[in-house]
Structure 1
Amino acid sequence: MNIHQHYEQQLDTDAVISRVQQHYPDGAGLYQLAPLDQLHIGGIKASERLLRHLDPSRHMQVLDIGAGAGGLMRQAATLGIRMIGLDITHDLNRLNQGLNNCFSEPVGNVILTGDAHHLPFADSSIDLVLFQHSFLNMPDDRQVLRECRRVLKPGGQLIMHEVVLGPNAGAMRFPVPWAEDARHSHLLSQQVLAARLQEAGFGSIEIEDWSDDALAWRRRQLNKEQAGTPAKAPLSPALVLGKRFKAMGENLVLNLENGAIRVVEVTALR
Protein backbone atom coordinates (compact mmCIF):
# COMPACT_ATOMS: atom_id res chain seq x y z
CA MET A 1 0.00 0.00 0.00
CA ASN A 2 1.30 3.48 -0.93
CA ILE A 3 0.96 6.28 1.57
CA HIS A 4 -1.77 8.00 -0.43
CA GLN A 5 -3.76 4.76 -0.36
CA HIS A 6 -3.48 4.71 3.44
CA TYR A 7 -5.33 8.03 3.59
CA GLU A 8 -7.71 7.42 0.66
CA GLN A 9 -8.89 3.88 1.34
CA GLN A 10 -11.71 4.83 3.74
CA LEU A 11 -12.29 8.42 2.60
CA ASP A 12 -15.36 9.34 0.53
CA THR A 13 -14.61 13.00 -0.15
CA ASP A 14 -17.95 13.85 -1.76
CA ALA A 15 -19.90 12.27 1.11
CA VAL A 16 -17.86 14.17 3.71
CA ILE A 17 -18.41 17.50 1.96
CA SER A 18 -22.14 16.79 1.66
CA ARG A 19 -22.30 16.06 5.37
CA VAL A 20 -20.58 19.35 6.22
CA GLN A 21 -22.95 21.27 3.94
CA GLN A 22 -25.95 19.52 5.48
CA HIS A 23 -25.01 20.38 9.05
CA TYR A 24 -23.52 23.83 8.39
CA PRO A 25 -25.42 25.33 5.44
CA ASP A 26 -24.33 28.87 6.38
CA GLY A 27 -20.65 27.90 6.64
CA ALA A 28 -18.61 26.03 9.25
CA GLY A 29 -16.06 27.64 11.56
CA LEU A 30 -12.64 26.44 12.66
CA TYR A 31 -13.88 24.51 15.68
CA GLN A 32 -16.72 22.91 13.76
CA LEU A 33 -14.35 21.63 11.06
CA ALA A 34 -11.60 20.62 13.50
CA PRO A 35 -12.71 16.94 13.82
CA LEU A 36 -12.05 16.62 10.06
CA ASP A 37 -9.12 18.89 9.36
CA GLN A 38 -7.07 19.14 12.59
CA LEU A 39 -6.16 15.46 12.91
CA HIS A 40 -2.73 16.07 14.41
CA ILE A 41 -2.14 15.62 18.15
CA GLY A 42 -3.20 18.79 19.94
CA GLY A 43 -5.84 19.99 17.49
CA ILE A 44 -6.55 23.70 17.00
CA LYS A 45 -4.60 24.80 20.08
CA ALA A 46 -1.43 23.10 18.82
CA SER A 47 -1.88 24.80 15.44
CA GLU A 48 -2.35 28.14 17.19
CA ARG A 49 0.90 27.56 19.07
CA LEU A 50 2.70 26.69 15.83
CA LEU A 51 1.34 29.68 13.93
CA ARG A 52 2.73 32.13 16.45
CA HIS A 53 5.99 31.90 14.47
CA LEU A 54 4.38 33.33 11.33
CA ASP A 55 4.28 37.01 10.46
CA PRO A 56 2.08 37.99 7.48
CA SER A 57 4.28 41.01 6.80
CA ARG A 58 7.41 38.85 6.37
CA HIS A 59 6.13 35.42 5.36
CA MET A 60 4.53 36.05 1.99
CA GLN A 61 5.30 32.60 0.55
CA VAL A 62 4.51 29.88 3.09
CA LEU A 63 4.51 26.20 2.09
CA ASP A 64 2.58 23.63 4.14
CA ILE A 65 4.00 20.21 3.20
CA GLY A 66 1.56 17.38 3.82
CA ALA A 67 -1.31 19.84 4.19
CA GLY A 68 -3.91 17.07 4.33
CA ALA A 69 -7.45 18.35 4.83
CA GLY A 70 -6.13 21.89 5.29
CA GLY A 71 -7.01 22.82 8.86
CA LEU A 72 -3.72 24.61 9.48
CA MET A 73 -4.11 26.53 6.22
CA ARG A 74 -7.60 27.78 7.06
CA GLN A 75 -6.55 28.70 10.57
CA ALA A 76 -3.62 30.67 9.14
CA ALA A 77 -5.96 32.39 6.67
CA THR A 78 -7.96 33.83 9.58
CA LEU A 79 -4.71 35.49 10.71
CA GLY A 80 -4.07 36.99 7.28
CA ILE A 81 -1.49 34.36 6.28
CA ARG A 82 -1.92 32.78 2.85
CA MET A 83 -0.35 29.37 2.37
CA ILE A 84 0.47 26.99 -0.42
CA GLY A 85 -0.63 23.49 0.50
CA LEU A 86 1.12 20.46 -0.99
CA ASP A 87 0.05 16.86 -0.43
CA ILE A 88 0.71 13.63 -2.30
CA THR A 89 -2.84 12.38 -1.59
CA HIS A 90 -5.13 13.86 -4.22
CA ASP A 91 -8.37 12.99 -2.39
CA LEU A 92 -7.16 14.90 0.67
CA ASN A 93 -6.47 17.88 -1.57
CA ARG A 94 -10.01 17.58 -2.95
CA LEU A 95 -11.28 17.50 0.64
CA ASN A 96 -9.14 20.54 1.49
CA GLN A 97 -10.64 22.51 -1.42
CA GLY A 98 -14.15 21.33 -0.58
CA LEU A 99 -13.79 22.42 3.05
CA ASN A 100 -12.52 25.81 1.85
CA ASN A 101 -15.84 26.16 0.04
CA CYS A 102 -17.70 25.18 3.23
CA PHE A 103 -15.74 27.53 5.47
CA SER A 104 -17.40 30.54 7.06
CA GLU A 105 -14.73 32.90 5.70
CA PRO A 106 -13.33 33.22 2.16
CA VAL A 107 -10.06 31.31 1.64
CA GLY A 108 -7.74 31.75 -1.34
CA ASN A 109 -5.07 29.18 -0.56
CA VAL A 110 -3.30 27.37 -3.38
CA ILE A 111 -3.55 23.56 -3.13
CA LEU A 112 -1.23 21.28 -5.11
CA THR A 113 -0.89 17.53 -5.48
CA GLY A 114 2.81 16.78 -5.35
CA ASP A 115 5.69 14.91 -3.74
CA ALA A 116 7.83 16.52 -1.03
CA HIS A 117 10.83 14.60 -2.36
CA HIS A 118 10.65 16.70 -5.55
CA LEU A 119 9.15 20.08 -4.67
CA PRO A 120 7.66 21.93 -7.68
CA PHE A 121 9.14 25.29 -6.72
CA ALA A 122 12.10 27.38 -7.86
CA ASP A 123 15.26 27.72 -5.80
CA SER A 124 15.08 30.34 -3.03
CA SER A 125 11.39 31.07 -3.63
CA ILE A 126 9.75 30.22 -0.27
CA ASP A 127 9.90 32.24 2.97
CA LEU A 128 8.82 29.49 5.37
CA VAL A 129 8.18 25.75 5.18
CA LEU A 130 5.86 23.94 7.61
CA PHE A 131 5.38 20.29 8.48
CA GLN A 132 2.59 19.24 10.83
CA HIS A 133 2.52 15.49 11.42
CA SER A 134 3.60 14.89 7.81
CA PHE A 135 7.39 14.49 7.95
CA LEU A 136 6.67 11.14 9.64
CA ASN A 137 5.40 9.84 6.28
CA MET A 138 8.54 10.76 4.31
CA PRO A 139 10.57 7.63 3.43
CA ASP A 140 13.66 9.58 2.27
CA ASP A 141 13.92 12.28 4.92
CA ARG A 142 17.34 13.42 3.71
CA GLN A 143 16.01 14.16 0.22
CA VAL A 144 12.98 16.01 1.62
CA LEU A 145 15.17 18.23 3.81
CA ARG A 146 17.51 18.95 0.89
CA GLU A 147 14.50 20.03 -1.15
CA CYS A 148 13.26 22.23 1.69
CA ARG A 149 16.61 23.97 1.92
CA ARG A 150 16.72 24.41 -1.86
CA VAL A 151 13.36 26.17 -2.10
CA LEU A 152 13.81 28.32 1.02
CA LYS A 153 15.16 31.83 0.65
CA PRO A 154 18.41 32.64 2.50
CA GLY A 155 17.36 33.17 6.12
CA GLY A 156 14.12 31.29 5.47
CA GLN A 157 12.66 29.19 8.25
CA LEU A 158 11.65 25.56 8.60
CA ILE A 159 9.08 24.77 11.30
CA MET A 160 7.82 21.36 12.33
CA HIS A 161 5.14 20.09 14.71
CA GLU A 162 6.03 16.43 14.55
CA VAL A 163 5.93 13.04 16.20
CA VAL A 164 9.36 11.50 16.92
CA LEU A 165 10.52 8.23 18.38
CA GLY A 166 10.61 8.17 22.16
CA PRO A 167 13.03 6.38 24.51
CA ASN A 168 10.87 3.24 24.44
CA ALA A 169 10.36 3.02 20.66
CA GLY A 170 10.17 -0.77 20.76
CA ALA A 171 6.81 -0.54 22.52
CA MET A 172 5.16 1.16 19.52
CA ARG A 173 1.56 0.06 18.92
CA PHE A 174 -0.13 0.18 15.50
CA PRO A 175 -2.32 1.31 13.82
CA VAL A 176 -1.80 5.03 14.33
CA PRO A 177 -3.34 7.85 12.24
CA TRP A 178 -0.31 8.12 9.96
CA ALA A 179 0.32 4.39 9.44
CA GLU A 180 -1.37 1.00 9.57
CA ASP A 181 1.96 -0.59 10.45
CA ALA A 182 5.70 0.13 10.59
CA ARG A 183 6.07 0.18 6.78
CA HIS A 184 4.64 3.71 6.45
CA SER A 185 5.83 5.09 9.79
CA HIS A 186 9.11 6.89 9.19
CA LEU A 187 9.68 8.34 12.63
CA LEU A 188 13.13 9.57 13.63
CA SER A 189 14.40 10.16 17.13
CA GLN A 190 14.80 13.76 18.21
CA GLN A 191 18.58 13.36 18.06
CA VAL A 192 18.57 11.89 14.55
CA LEU A 193 16.17 14.57 13.31
CA ALA A 194 18.49 17.30 14.60
CA ALA A 195 21.45 15.60 12.92
CA ARG A 196 19.54 15.29 9.61
CA LEU A 197 18.69 19.00 9.69
CA GLN A 198 22.31 19.91 10.32
CA GLU A 199 23.46 17.58 7.55
CA ALA A 200 21.03 19.25 5.12
CA GLY A 201 22.56 22.64 5.88
CA PHE A 202 20.13 24.07 8.43
CA GLY A 203 21.31 26.05 11.44
CA SER A 204 19.90 27.60 14.63
CA ILE A 205 18.07 24.32 15.29
CA GLU A 206 15.78 24.40 18.34
CA ILE A 207 13.57 21.55 19.55
CA GLU A 208 10.86 21.97 22.17
CA ASP A 209 9.08 18.96 23.67
CA TRP A 210 5.27 19.26 23.67
CA SER A 211 4.62 15.68 24.83
CA ASP A 212 2.99 16.39 28.20
CA ASP A 213 0.46 18.75 26.64
CA ALA A 214 -0.05 16.33 23.75
CA LEU A 215 -0.84 13.44 26.08
CA ALA A 216 -3.24 15.51 28.20
CA TRP A 217 -5.09 16.62 25.04
CA ARG A 218 -5.23 13.12 23.56
CA ARG A 219 -6.60 11.69 26.85
CA ARG A 220 -9.38 14.30 26.83
CA GLN A 221 -10.24 13.43 23.23
CA LEU A 222 -10.26 9.71 24.00
CA ASN A 223 -12.66 10.26 26.91
CA LYS A 224 -15.03 12.13 24.57
CA GLU A 225 -14.78 9.42 21.93
CA GLN A 226 -15.45 6.64 24.42
CA ALA A 227 -18.42 8.46 25.98
CA GLY A 228 -20.45 7.93 22.81
CA THR A 229 -23.15 10.40 23.84
CA PRO A 230 -26.18 10.81 21.54
CA ALA A 231 -25.42 14.53 21.20
CA LYS A 232 -21.94 13.98 19.84
CA ALA A 233 -20.64 16.32 17.14
CA PRO A 234 -21.84 15.68 13.58
CA LEU A 235 -18.25 15.50 12.28
CA SER A 236 -15.63 13.00 13.34
CA PRO A 237 -12.08 11.92 12.39
CA ALA A 238 -13.66 8.57 11.48
CA LEU A 239 -15.13 10.27 8.38
CA VAL A 240 -11.55 10.60 7.12
CA LEU A 241 -9.78 7.64 8.74
CA GLY A 242 -12.67 5.20 8.90
CA LYS A 243 -13.47 2.62 11.56
CA ARG A 244 -9.73 2.27 12.21
CA PHE A 245 -9.77 5.59 14.04
CA LYS A 246 -10.97 4.08 17.33
CA ALA A 247 -7.90 1.84 17.58
CA MET A 248 -5.66 4.62 16.28
CA GLY A 249 -6.82 7.03 18.97
CA GLU A 250 -6.35 4.47 21.73
CA ASN A 251 -2.88 3.58 20.47
CA LEU A 252 -1.81 7.24 20.41
CA VAL A 253 -2.49 7.47 24.14
CA LEU A 254 -0.66 4.19 24.82
CA ASN A 255 2.32 5.22 22.70
CA LEU A 256 2.63 8.57 24.47
CA GLU A 257 2.18 7.00 27.90
CA ASN A 258 4.78 4.29 27.37
CA GLY A 259 7.38 6.56 25.77
CA ALA A 260 7.22 4.99 22.30
CA ILE A 261 6.67 8.46 20.80
CA ARG A 262 7.19 12.11 21.71
CA VAL A 263 5.67 15.25 20.19
CA VAL A 264 8.02 18.14 19.43
CA GLU A 265 8.20 21.54 17.80
CA VAL A 266 11.28 22.12 15.67
CA THR A 267 12.55 25.40 14.24
CA ALA A 268 15.57 25.80 11.97
CA LEU A 269 17.01 28.41 9.60
CA ARG A 270 18.39 28.09 6.10
Structure 2
Amino acid sequence: MTNANRLAEHYQRALRADEVLAQIDAHFPAGPTLHQLAPLDQLHIGGVAASARLLERLDPTTHVNVLDVGAGLGGLMRQGAALGFQMTGLDITHGFSVLNRALCSRVNQPDAPPLAWVTGDAGALPFADNSFDAVLFQHSLLNMPDANRVIAQSRRVLRPGGQLVMHEVVSGPNVAHLRYPVPWAANSEHSHLLNLSELTRLLETGGFQLVHVDDWSEMALAWRQRQRQKSRRHDQPCCHPSGYLANAF
Protein backbone atom coordinates (compact mmCIF):
# COMPACT_ATOMS: atom_id res chain seq x y z
CA MET A 1 0.00 0.00 0.00
CA THR A 2 1.42 3.41 -0.96
CA ASN A 3 1.74 6.29 1.47
CA ALA A 4 -1.13 8.05 -0.29
CA ASN A 5 -3.35 4.98 0.05
CA ARG A 6 -2.49 4.64 3.73
CA LEU A 7 -3.39 8.28 4.32
CA ALA A 8 -6.72 7.86 2.53
CA GLU A 9 -7.39 4.74 4.59
CA HIS A 10 -6.70 6.66 7.82
CA TYR A 11 -9.41 9.18 7.00
CA GLN A 12 -11.82 6.78 5.34
CA ARG A 13 -11.79 3.84 7.74
CA ALA A 14 -14.49 5.21 10.05
CA LEU A 15 -16.47 6.94 7.31
CA ARG A 16 -20.08 5.75 7.19
CA ALA A 17 -21.43 7.91 4.41
CA ASP A 18 -24.81 6.21 4.09
CA GLU A 19 -25.49 6.63 7.80
CA VAL A 20 -24.40 10.26 7.72
CA LEU A 21 -26.66 11.09 4.78
CA ALA A 22 -29.60 9.23 6.30
CA GLN A 23 -29.30 11.24 9.52
CA ILE A 24 -29.03 14.52 7.63
CA ASP A 25 -32.09 13.67 5.54
CA ALA A 26 -34.04 12.75 8.69
CA HIS A 27 -33.10 15.86 10.64
CA PHE A 28 -33.16 18.37 7.78
CA PRO A 29 -35.76 17.20 5.23
CA ALA A 30 -35.75 20.62 3.55
CA GLY A 31 -31.95 20.52 3.30
CA PRO A 32 -29.33 21.63 5.85
CA THR A 33 -27.85 25.10 6.06
CA LEU A 34 -24.11 25.66 6.07
CA HIS A 35 -24.13 26.24 9.82
CA GLN A 36 -26.15 23.08 10.44
CA LEU A 37 -23.51 21.09 8.55
CA ALA A 38 -20.61 22.79 10.31
CA PRO A 39 -20.22 20.16 13.10
CA LEU A 40 -19.61 17.64 10.31
CA ASP A 41 -17.68 19.54 7.63
CA GLN A 42 -15.91 22.37 9.51
CA LEU A 43 -13.85 20.36 12.00
CA HIS A 44 -10.70 22.46 11.63
CA ILE A 45 -9.65 24.84 14.40
CA GLY A 46 -11.94 27.86 14.49
CA GLY A 47 -14.79 26.28 12.52
CA VAL A 48 -16.92 28.48 10.26
CA ALA A 49 -15.39 31.71 11.56
CA ALA A 50 -11.89 30.56 10.57
CA SER A 51 -13.12 29.69 7.08
CA ALA A 52 -14.69 33.13 6.80
CA ARG A 53 -11.39 34.80 7.74
CA LEU A 54 -9.60 32.69 5.13
CA LEU A 55 -12.06 33.61 2.38
CA GLU A 56 -11.93 37.31 3.31
CA ARG A 57 -8.45 37.35 1.80
CA LEU A 58 -9.94 36.74 -1.64
CA ASP A 59 -12.23 38.71 -3.94
CA PRO A 60 -14.74 36.72 -6.07
CA THR A 61 -14.45 39.30 -8.85
CA THR A 62 -10.70 38.75 -9.28
CA HIS A 63 -10.24 35.28 -7.79
CA VAL A 64 -12.98 33.57 -9.76
CA ASN A 65 -11.60 30.02 -9.91
CA VAL A 66 -10.43 28.70 -6.55
CA LEU A 67 -8.85 25.34 -5.72
CA ASP A 68 -9.37 23.94 -2.20
CA VAL A 69 -6.53 21.46 -1.55
CA GLY A 70 -7.56 18.83 0.97
CA ALA A 71 -11.23 19.76 0.70
CA GLY A 72 -12.45 16.99 3.00
CA LEU A 73 -16.24 17.08 3.29
CA GLY A 74 -16.47 20.47 1.61
CA GLY A 75 -17.37 22.99 4.30
CA LEU A 76 -14.91 25.58 3.00
CA MET A 77 -15.99 24.90 -0.58
CA ARG A 78 -19.67 25.52 0.10
CA GLN A 79 -18.89 28.59 2.18
CA GLY A 80 -16.79 29.95 -0.68
CA ALA A 81 -19.48 29.18 -3.25
CA ALA A 82 -22.00 31.12 -1.15
CA LEU A 83 -19.74 34.17 -1.60
CA GLY A 84 -19.58 33.72 -5.37
CA PHE A 85 -16.31 31.80 -5.83
CA GLN A 86 -16.15 28.94 -8.34
CA MET A 87 -14.76 26.26 -6.07
CA THR A 88 -12.96 23.06 -7.03
CA GLY A 89 -12.25 20.66 -4.19
CA LEU A 90 -9.39 18.17 -4.31
CA ASP A 91 -8.93 15.40 -1.76
CA ILE A 92 -6.84 12.25 -1.73
CA THR A 93 -9.61 10.36 0.07
CA HIS A 94 -12.18 9.34 -2.53
CA GLY A 95 -14.81 8.63 0.11
CA PHE A 96 -14.59 12.25 1.19
CA SER A 97 -15.03 13.49 -2.36
CA VAL A 98 -18.11 11.31 -2.85
CA LEU A 99 -19.69 12.39 0.45
CA ASN A 100 -18.75 16.01 -0.21
CA ARG A 101 -20.67 15.92 -3.48
CA ALA A 102 -23.67 14.26 -1.82
CA LEU A 103 -23.72 16.93 0.89
CA CYS A 104 -23.58 19.69 -1.73
CA SER A 105 -26.63 18.20 -3.44
CA ARG A 106 -28.59 18.60 -0.20
CA VAL A 107 -27.66 22.23 0.53
CA ASN A 108 -29.89 24.84 -1.04
CA GLN A 109 -27.54 27.27 -2.80
CA PRO A 110 -29.40 28.10 -6.05
CA ASP A 111 -27.41 31.26 -6.77
CA ALA A 112 -23.97 29.80 -6.04
CA PRO A 113 -21.54 28.97 -8.86
CA PRO A 114 -21.24 25.26 -9.71
CA LEU A 115 -18.84 23.17 -7.66
CA ALA A 116 -16.35 20.55 -8.86
CA TRP A 117 -14.88 17.56 -7.00
CA VAL A 118 -11.65 15.75 -7.82
CA THR A 119 -9.93 12.84 -6.07
CA GLY A 120 -6.22 13.31 -6.43
CA ASP A 121 -2.78 13.91 -4.94
CA ALA A 122 -1.68 17.45 -4.09
CA GLY A 123 1.83 16.46 -5.11
CA ALA A 124 0.66 15.71 -8.66
CA LEU A 125 -2.27 18.04 -9.28
CA PRO A 126 -4.41 16.87 -12.23
CA PHE A 127 -4.88 20.39 -13.61
CA ALA A 128 -3.29 22.41 -16.38
CA ASP A 129 -0.84 25.23 -15.72
CA ASN A 130 -2.40 28.58 -14.75
CA SER A 131 -5.81 27.00 -14.07
CA PHE A 132 -6.73 28.88 -10.88
CA ASP A 133 -6.82 32.39 -9.51
CA ALA A 134 -6.32 31.18 -5.95
CA VAL A 135 -5.34 28.02 -4.07
CA LEU A 136 -6.49 27.37 -0.50
CA PHE A 137 -5.08 25.07 2.19
CA GLN A 138 -6.89 24.55 5.47
CA HIS A 139 -5.28 22.05 7.84
CA SER A 140 -4.12 19.91 4.90
CA LEU A 141 -0.40 20.55 4.36
CA LEU A 142 0.26 18.87 7.72
CA ASN A 143 -0.52 15.50 6.08
CA MET A 144 1.76 15.94 3.09
CA PRO A 145 5.26 14.39 3.30
CA ASP A 146 6.74 16.22 0.30
CA ALA A 147 5.75 19.81 1.01
CA ASN A 148 8.20 21.16 -1.57
CA ARG A 149 6.51 19.23 -4.36
CA VAL A 150 3.05 20.27 -3.14
CA ILE A 151 3.99 23.95 -3.14
CA ALA A 152 5.60 23.61 -6.57
CA GLN A 153 2.39 22.07 -7.90
CA SER A 154 0.32 24.82 -6.33
CA ARG A 155 2.53 27.42 -7.98
CA ARG A 156 2.20 25.65 -11.34
CA VAL A 157 -1.61 25.66 -11.38
CA LEU A 158 -1.86 29.29 -10.24
CA ARG A 159 -2.05 32.03 -12.83
CA PRO A 160 0.65 34.73 -12.63
CA GLY A 161 -0.34 37.02 -9.80
CA GLY A 162 -2.67 34.43 -8.29
CA GLN A 163 -2.84 33.94 -4.56
CA LEU A 164 -2.10 31.10 -2.19
CA VAL A 165 -3.98 31.34 1.12
CA MET A 166 -3.36 28.98 4.02
CA HIS A 167 -4.85 28.27 7.42
CA GLU A 168 -2.36 25.70 8.66
CA VAL A 169 -1.30 24.09 11.90
CA VAL A 170 2.42 24.54 12.58
CA SER A 171 4.56 23.06 15.32
CA GLY A 172 5.13 25.14 18.43
CA PRO A 173 7.51 25.01 21.39
CA ASN A 174 5.71 22.11 23.05
CA VAL A 175 5.65 19.76 20.07
CA ALA A 176 7.39 17.12 22.19
CA HIS A 177 4.12 16.76 24.11
CA LEU A 178 2.29 15.63 20.98
CA ARG A 179 0.84 12.15 21.50
CA TYR A 180 -0.77 9.96 18.86
CA PRO A 181 -3.36 9.46 17.67
CA VAL A 182 -4.19 13.07 16.81
CA PRO A 183 -7.12 14.21 14.62
CA TRP A 184 -5.00 14.29 11.46
CA ALA A 185 -2.84 11.21 12.00
CA ALA A 186 -2.93 7.86 13.74
CA ASN A 187 0.86 7.94 14.06
CA SER A 188 3.89 9.96 13.04
CA GLU A 189 3.85 8.50 9.52
CA HIS A 190 1.17 10.92 8.39
CA SER A 191 2.02 13.93 10.55
CA HIS A 192 4.28 16.44 8.81
CA LEU A 193 4.09 19.61 10.85
CA LEU A 194 6.45 22.44 9.95
CA ASN A 195 7.35 25.28 12.25
CA LEU A 196 6.62 28.86 11.24
CA SER A 197 10.13 29.54 9.94
CA GLU A 198 10.15 26.35 7.87
CA LEU A 199 6.78 27.15 6.33
CA THR A 200 7.86 30.70 5.51
CA ARG A 201 11.05 29.45 3.86
CA LEU A 202 9.11 26.79 1.96
CA LEU A 203 6.78 29.37 0.43
CA GLU A 204 9.50 31.87 -0.42
CA THR A 205 11.74 29.30 -2.09
CA GLY A 206 8.68 27.93 -3.90
CA GLY A 207 8.17 31.17 -5.81
CA PHE A 208 5.76 33.04 -3.54
CA GLN A 209 6.00 36.51 -2.08
CA LEU A 210 4.46 36.68 1.38
CA VAL A 211 2.11 39.63 1.72
CA HIS A 212 0.27 38.76 4.92
CA VAL A 213 0.92 36.48 7.89
CA ASP A 214 -1.32 36.06 10.95
CA ASP A 215 -0.71 34.04 14.09
CA TRP A 216 -4.14 32.83 15.22
CA SER A 217 -2.86 30.91 18.23
CA GLU A 218 -4.73 32.86 20.90
CA MET A 219 -8.02 32.69 19.01
CA ALA A 220 -7.47 29.01 18.30
CA LEU A 221 -6.72 28.13 21.90
CA ALA A 222 -9.79 30.05 23.06
CA TRP A 223 -11.89 28.18 20.51
CA ARG A 224 -10.43 24.88 21.59
CA GLN A 225 -11.15 25.67 25.24
CA ARG A 226 -14.78 26.41 24.40
CA GLN A 227 -15.04 23.16 22.48
CA ARG A 228 -13.60 21.21 25.37
CA GLN A 229 -15.13 23.13 28.26
CA LYS A 230 -16.53 19.97 29.80
CA SER A 231 -13.10 18.46 30.08
CA ARG A 232 -10.84 19.31 33.02
CA ARG A 233 -7.72 17.90 31.38
CA HIS A 234 -5.13 20.58 30.67
CA ASP A 235 -3.29 20.26 27.37
CA GLN A 236 -0.23 22.34 26.67
CA PRO A 237 -0.31 23.74 23.15
CA CYS A 238 2.02 21.78 20.91
CA CYS A 239 0.85 23.43 17.72
CA HIS A 240 -0.24 26.84 16.49
CA PRO A 241 -2.51 27.69 13.54
CA SER A 242 -1.24 30.33 11.18
CA GLY A 243 -2.89 32.25 8.37
CA TYR A 244 -0.82 32.92 5.27
CA LEU A 245 -1.47 34.97 2.15
CA ALA A 246 1.12 34.67 -0.60
CA ASN A 247 1.25 36.02 -4.14
CA ALA A 248 2.57 33.94 -7.02
CA PHE A 249 5.27 35.66 -9.04
Separation in 2, partners of 1:173, 1:220: 21
Amino acid corresponding to residue 6 of structure 2 in structure 1: N
Amino acid corresponding to residue 100 of structure 1 in structure 2: C
Number of residues of Structure 1 aligned to a counterpart in Structure 2: 242
Tell me the TM-score normalized by structure 2.
0.93
Separation in 2, partners of 1:105, 1:38: 18
Separation in 2, partners of 1:169, 1:87: 27
Separation in 2, partners of 1:204, 1:184: 27
Amino acid corresponding to residue 6 of structure 1 in structure 2: H
1:48 CA drift (Å): 0.8
Amino acid corresponding to residue 15 of structure 1 in structure 2: E
What corresponds to 1:54 in structure 2? 58
Amino acid corresponding to residue 190 of structure 2 in structure 1: H
Moved over 3 A (4+): none
Separation in 2, partners of 1:105, 1:203: 35
Question: Is residue 2:28 matched to residue 1:24?
Answer: yes
Q: Does the residue aligned with 1:54 lie in a helix, a strand or coil?
A: coil
Q: Which has the higher helix share?
A: 1
Amino acid corresponding to residue 181 of structure 2 in structure 1: P
Question: Is residue 2:244 matched to residue 1:266?
Answer: yes
The question of whether the paired residues in 1 share the 8 Å contact of 2:210 and 2:244 is answered with no
1:104 CA drift (Å): 2.8
Question: Is residue 2:98 matched to residue 1:94?
Answer: yes
Q: Cα deviations across residues 163-216 of structure 1 (Å, max 9, x unaligned)?
A: 000022111122221111211111100100001111111113532100111111
What corresponds to 1:14 in structure 2? 18
Unaligned ranges ≥5, structure 1: 227-249
CA RMSD of aligned residues (A): 1.6
What corresponds to 2:130 in structure 1? 124
Question: Is residue 2:143 matched to residue 1:137?
Answer: yes
Q: Cα deviations across residues 219-247 of structure 1 (Å, max 9, x unaligned)?
A: 111226x6xxxxxxxxxxxxxxxxxxxxx
1:105 CA drift (Å): 2.2
Tell me the TM-score normalized by structure 1.
0.86
- Which gives a bigger RCO, structure 1 or 2 (Cα 8 Å, sep 6+)? 1
The question of whether the paired residues in 2 share the 8 Å contact of 1:194 and 1:205 is answered with no
Q: Cα deviations across residues 58-100 of structure 1 (Å, max 9, x unaligned)?
A: 1111000000000001111111112000001000011101111
Unaligned ranges ≥5, structure 2: none
Separation in 1, partners of 2:210, 2:75: 28
Separation in 1, partners of 2:19, 2:86: 27
Question: Is residue 2:193 matched to residue 1:187?
Answer: yes
CA 1:56–1:206 in structure 2 vs 1: closer, same or farther (change >3 Å)? closer
Amino acid corresponding to residue 145 of structure 2 in structure 1: P
Separation in 1, partners of 2:95, 2:62: 32
